[in-house]
Amino acid sequence: MPVSALRSLLARTLCILALVLLSVRPAAAQSILRDAETEALLDEMAAPLIRAAGLEPGNVDLVLINDGSVNAFVAGGQAVYIHSGLIAEADNALEVQGVIAHELGHITGGHVIGFGDGAKAAGNISILSLILGVAAAAAGGGEAAMGVIAAGQQAAMGKFLAFTRGQESAADLAGAKYLAGADLSGRGSLDFFRKLQNLEHRSGYYADSSDTFYRTHPLSRDRIETLRTVYERDDAWDKPADPDIERRFQRMKAKLYGYLAPPEQVLIAYPEYVDTVPARYARAYSRHRQALFDKSVAEADALLADAPDDPYFLELKGQILLEAGQAEAALDPLRRAVSLTGNQPLIATLFGHALLATEDAAHHAEAERVLRAAVAVDRLNPQAWYQLGRIYAERGDLPRARLASAETKMMTGDPMSALQNAQAAEAALPTGTPDWLRAQDIALQARDAIERKRKRD
């Protein structure tokens, strides 16, 4: 067997194994979308399902990923990642709740941990086939060597994909159990699987045996047939959706669409003549992105005319004013939004930004108080730490400015800068104080991140 051919087969096998390993870290290169209203609603939608799964709602995170594909996944720990494309595709809240229930099935089933076992078993077959193939090549059997290695690759892939299909089926049944425990109808889940089935057909996936062999998930047709029987037996099958959750979901969906979709598509989905709350919400964000100040303010004012104490409409108005350079005018709506939400950290961060943007030092004390309260609740908020760092730097408190910068750099994926800032802060802060201890913690985290990156590279 020629050396070049053997190398080619080795490369193919290693590529397959690399793809398997990469698939357990799907969130690494994707950006997270953070929005106070969206996070509050997703948490509320998931809470009964999380309790039905035997978990604590406060210990499970719902994370929105800026990705237009229709997908959701878990990637270790107790976190469910939902693509923005899935929200856009869903017609109602029950469909998303069906997806969340399925992903909770992966968490309670320990599937991310078990994923490594499946990959290892497949890898063992593939590695064994390589060893046998090399032995055959050394004995002069080039054709036999290629056959052994190719068969080993096929067996490894088949074993691994069968393993993942088994996990998906188990998560489907667990999700059905959690929907029943939360007293939520499975109609939304079935409707969403029908959407997936339509996507499969558009992508050329059909129920023939060769196609099924290479799939990581069972066919949606088969999943629908299995789950329909389970759902229809449940007492909640004919229960209507919660009207308040549904109303808020349509608002959230429109808001995200206005923020993410091309403006011309937003106007097709939510034309000018439609004056519903979701339509105005979508157009307000879309026009703000286009820097159409008067039109975006008009939409925000129309929303506030009907609901003057809605904190998220106030947040929208404040954001439009702030980003149009009218920081002073943004203070009142943002201050009210912070008060109405009990100092919600994302809105408080925006308010702190507005206070600093006025360039009036008289606002610094209020900004510091608001921002410190925000990071006390949500430490993983790089924008809040950045604004705090600005306050510390402007008043000459460089050690705490460096500490805030270390927090920011660690969260934005720059461990080397985080380490440098943490070390500088630790050297200048009073020994034994909470800030000094935090600087040490960040330095340890940064060193660990640098070492892990070095090993990966």
pLDDT digits (tens, 9 = 90+) for 272-288: 999 999 999 999 999 99
At residue 219, the pLDDT reads 63
Is the pLDDT at 452 greater than 70, yes or no? Answer: yes
**Band of pLDDT at residue 161, cut at 50, 70 and 90:** very low
CA of residue 316 relative to chain centroid, distance: 22
**Band of pLDDT at residue 143, cut at 50, 70 and 90:** low
Q: How far is CA 37 from CA 30, 258, 262, 374, in A?
A: 21, 14, 22, 16
Which residues have a Cβ under 8 Å from the Cβ of 122 and sit 6 or more positions away? 20, 156, 157, 159, 160, 163
Task: Tell me how many degrees the CA angle 103-107-108 measures, rounded to the nearest 5.
Answer: 115
Is the pLDDT at 150 greater than 70, yes or no? Answer: no
Delimit the CATH 1.25.40.10 region(s) of the chain.
244-456
Residue 190 · residue 236 · CB < 8 Å: no
User: Tokens 């399902």 belong to which residue?
Assistant: 49
57-61, 171-175, 216-220, 387-391, range with the lowest pLDDT: 216-220
Is the pLDDT at 424 greater than 60, yes or no? Answer: yes
At residue 77, the pLDDT reads 82
Give, to the nearest 10 degrees, the angle between helix 93-108 and helix 111-138.
60
226 or 132, which is more confident: 226
pLDDT digits (tens, 9 = 90+) for 361-402: 999 999 999 999 999 999 889 999 999 999 999 999 999 999
- Distance in angstroms (rounded) separating the CA atoms of residues 402 and 424: 7
Is the pLDDT at 13 greater than 70, yes or no? Answer: no
CATH of 244-456, one of 3.40.190.10, 1.25.40.10, 2.60.120.560, 3.20.130.10: 1.25.40.10
Is the pLDDT at 126 greater than 50, yes or no? Answer: no
**Band of pLDDT at residue 30, cut at 50, 70 and 90:** low
- Distance in angstroms (rounded) separating the CA atoms of residues 77 and 79: 6
pTM above 0.95, yes or no: no
As a whole number, the mean pLDDT across the chain is 83
**Band of pLDDT at residue 170, cut at 50, 70 and 90:** confident
Residue 83 · residue 137 · CB < 8 Å: no
